[in-house]
């Protein structure tokens, strides 16, 4: 992973993200919150313990306040390769969790530390050759029965592709198809549980958002998530 690339955009990430998603009529907080709301729903649905949660590739901490809100009784941890991003996250939310630098290969956590690992918008920044090792490292830190949720941009959605192709932060990004993540889970010995497509309607069509739960199978949402369980 190119750490310098992440450090380069750390200070301006929020503004870049805001500009890049302007077409949706929403702000970065909207996109951060619905992911954590989905995580809460998945945890409840599968009856997973959530005592210890890891935000894998937390960046500047956009998910942190929502993890704290939706999982108020959990111990929150976050890692990222960008020290600059972590410094910003610590300034914003240090009281909400423990944030540590990740060397890109091995975390400092013991085996079977976490009940839940969440990763949003990380793997499309990572070379394909490193994906398997990262998933295995996450699996090492997961407890048996723990879940790993990966949120990614949908390469089948033209607006998403346009947003990625015009965002400086994503200049080296390569979008992943969901089947790629399911294969990685299988190769790493993680049981595939669930896949859903998300974000079908911009803000001016917000009244239609309640029907999104019926469209989760349709590969046209702006993003998607895949969930696996360590067995």
pLDDT at 27: 73
Taking residues 208-228, what's their average pLDDT?
95
pLDDT at 22: 55
Q: What range defines the domain where residue 7 resides? A: 3-230
- What letters, b where the CB count within 10 A reaches 16 and e where it falls short, cover 84-95? bbbbbbbeebee
Taking residues 118-129, what's their average pLDDT?
94
Which stretch of 131-145, 152-166, 208-222 has the lowest confidence by average pLDDT? 152-166
Checking if the pLDDT of 228 tops 80, the result is yes
CB neighbour list of residue 198: distance below 8 Å, 6 or more residues apart: 34, 38, 212, 216, 221, 222, 223, 224, 225
Checking if the pLDDT of 165 tops 90, the result is no
Taking residues 192-213, what's their average pLDDT?
92
Instruction: Give the integer Cα–Cα distance in Å for 119 and 101.
Output: 15
pLDDT at 12: 53
CB neighbour list of residue 210: distance below 8 Å, 6 or more residues apart: none
In the chain, how many domains are there? 1
pLDDT at 190: 97
**pLDDT per position as a tens digit, 75-90:** 999 999 999 899 999 9
Taking residues 94-100, what's their average pLDDT?
94
> In the structure encoding, which two tokens stand for residue 174, read together?
């390569």
**pLDDT per position as a tens digit, 54-74:** 999 999 999 999 999 999 999
pLDDT at 15: 53
- What letters, b where the CB count within 10 A reaches 16 and e where it falls short, cover 181-195? beebbeebebeebeb
Checking if the pLDDT of 186 tops 90, the result is yes
Contact 117, 148 (CB under 8 A): yes
Name the helix (H) or strand (E) containing 144: strand 142-153
CATH code for the domain of 187: 3.40.50.150
Sheet with 142-153, edge to edge strand ranges: 98-101, 75-80, 52-56, 114-120, 142-153, 223-230, 190-198
CA 9 to chain centroid: 18
pLDDT at 20: 54
- What letters, b where the CB count within 10 A reaches 16 and e where it falls short, cover 148-179? bbbbbbbbbbeebeebbeebebbeebebbebe
Secondary structure class of 168 (helix, strand, coil): helix
Checking if the pLDDT of 33 tops 80, the result is yes
Instruction: Give the integer Cα–Cα distance in Å for 137 and 97.
Output: 21
Checking if the pLDDT of 34 tops 90, the result is yes
Taking residues 172-197, what's their average pLDDT?
95
Checking if the pLDDT of 32 tops 80, the result is yes
Average pLDDT over the chain, rounded to an integer: 89
């Amino acid at each position: 992973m190119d750490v310098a690339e992440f450090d380069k955009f750390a200070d301006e990430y929020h503004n870049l993200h805001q500009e890049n998603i302007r077409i949706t009529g929403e702000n970065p907080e909207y996109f951060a919150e619905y992911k954590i709301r989905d995580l809460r729903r998945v945890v409840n649905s599968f009856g997973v313990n959530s005592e210890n949660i890891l935000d894998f590739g937390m960046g500047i901490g956009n998910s942190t306040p929502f993890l704290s809100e939706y999982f108020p009784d959990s111990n929150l941890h976050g890692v990222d390769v960008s020290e600059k991003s972590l410094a910003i996250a610590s300034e914003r939310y240090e009281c909400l969790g423990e944030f540590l630098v990740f060397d890109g290969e091995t975390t400092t956590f013991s085996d079977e530390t976490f009940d839940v690992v969440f990763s949003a918008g990380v793997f499309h920044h990572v070379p394909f050759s490193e994906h398997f090792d990262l998933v295995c490292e996450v699996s090492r830190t997961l407890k048996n029965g723990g879940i790993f949720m990966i949120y990614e941009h949908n390469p089948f959605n033209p607006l998403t592709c346009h947003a990625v192709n015009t965002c400086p932060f994503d200049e080296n990004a390569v979008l992943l198809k969901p089947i790629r993540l399911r294969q990685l889970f299988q190769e790493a010995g993680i049981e595939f549980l669930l896949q859903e497509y998300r974000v079908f309607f911009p803000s001016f069509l917000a009244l239609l958002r309640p029907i999104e739960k019926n469209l989760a199978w349709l590969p046209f949402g702006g993003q998607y998530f895949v969930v696996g369980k360590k067995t």
